[in-house]
Amino acid sequence: MLFPSLLFAFLSVFSSDSPKEEKPNIVLILADDLGWSDIGCYGSEVETPNLDWLAENGVRFTQMYNTAKCNPSRAALMTGLYAQQVGYEATYQQPLINGITLGELLKSAGYRTMWAGKHHGFDHPMDRGFDRYYGLMEGASNHFNPGLRREGEAQPAQKRPDRPFYVDRNLFQPYTPPQDYYSTDYFTKYALQWLEEYRAETQPFFLYLAYTAPHDPLMAWPEDIEKYKGKYDQGYEAIRQKRFEKQKKLGLIAEDYPITEAIHAPWESLSDSLQNLEAQKMEVYAAMIDRMDQKIGEIIQKLRQLGKLDNTVFIFLSDNGASAEMVNIPGDGKIGTVGHWTSLGGDWANVGNTPLRFFKNYSFEGGIRTPLIISWPKGLQAKNQFNDFPAHLIDILPTLADLSGATYPEKLDGKPVLPYAGQSLLPAIRGEMEVREKPIFWEWAVGRAVRQGDWKLVAHGKEAPWELFDLSTDPYETKNRIADFPEKAQELRTLFQEWKERSAQQKASGQLSWPSASSDQ
């Protein structure tokens, strides 16, 4: 869709006839298991004033996609390639192949590159283009203490106590941090320290902040939880309906679409004790999102103090939809604290993805659609704009290449790399491109899908039949049209199978020229 103010701003910044512009700084922020409606500017009641400010001073995408799962999403984000092309379609226990990383790309363009937070990959970030790294190399961990029990505290609830953490190249396994540790706080703390350390540099910087919030375990500071006490006592239906109405009021979704059928349990069917438990879980979940927003605000304020805010591009998104996965590790019974691990669950995840179907791990919209906010005071000069261009994580790398002027190489360290699979989103933001020319593909576990134009073919389950949806009239996948348009379904099936075979061939070819995983990594 064409927004005149955006068009003017981008043409002035990126016109080949204009004088050479200073390269923008880039802050890329990735949330973990955040649902499509879980922040204020996408419909939530959770207080996210800093993300809302970015949205009000930038662009919100309404059809931005991920891969439905953590590690393939992060691989696609980092490389501009599908996880199937780089060897991350099923596991992350080997090096990325066939591509370059955002760090390598932007470092080649003269950027200072920094990464704080979750990795969920094999290669050390400082071996793949990043100057600094602090964070968790694997998946979920205790937000208050991922290591050994600290004096005076409960035993930390955890899947295992040896999750590897790095401070630059220094490995801590287990990582037992100071008692003021909270994952969101410390990831931000290191980012702020780096911004201060390099404040006098004239070169631009790239900061990748990969938060682990609001991924389980549900844990938050008491003062943040207190803000949401009693807010969710009204239950799933009421919160979901309020989010839906707010989304329409914001202009995020059309006024004439009905809300999809709920897949959560009726709130009134729960016992009083279970209602109290469910409300408490959501209070903690909301507090985790709130804390993440607070810390994003600290990054914004730091850049304002440094005089670098106006020329900094902020990109915010999530790695998959809200999660219905359940992990319960017996502990001290106090939800939200270091000693108790619990998860959000499918009922609240259905609310988190309002009004979309299903959740993480599914290739339906609730699993694969993410908020995307792009804000750049100097370059966008946009106010509260929406963009309905169908975008994907594979588009982030080419977008950053476009922003930075970086040249995507044909080889890295003498090894060939595949051309990126995505496309820059700048033409879509400028209003120069409304229709995506290439189809988008998904395959994770037993979920699979392909989208071409407004047609989407999707299935969940090894033997599950395909379903066909016209997203132009049915964006929430409520009416299966496969019986009405069998030729279109067959066309999309063929596209999907060709993509799957081509990706497998590319992966196999790449494995011939890249090192295999070492046992001591």
Active-site amino acid positions: 70, 120
- Distance (Å, whole) CA 338 – CA 156: 5
> Strand pairing of 415-416 and 455-460?
unpaired
CA distance 27 to 46: 23
Triad 236, 240, 242: Cα angle to 5°: 125
CA distance 363 to 357: 10
Q: Give the residue from 110, 108, 116 showing the smallest Cα distance to 27.
A: 116
Q: Is 450 helix (H, G, I), strand (E, B) or coil?
A: strand
Q: Give the ranges where 19-160 is alpha helix by DSSP (H).
A: 49-56, 70-79, 83-86, 102-108
Per the CB < 8 A criterion, the answer to whether 284 and 335 are in contact is: yes
Q: What is the C-alpha to C-alpha distance for residues 300 and 218, in angstroms, rounded to an integer?
A: 26
**Position 195: which residue type?**
L
- Give ∠ CA 139-65-261 in degrees, rounded to 5: 95
- The full 3-state SS of 232-263, as one line of letters, equals CCCCHHHHHHHHHHHHHHHCCCCCCCCCCCCC
Alpha-carbon distance values, 328 to 77, 140, 342, 367, 368 (Å): 30, 13, 5, 22, 25
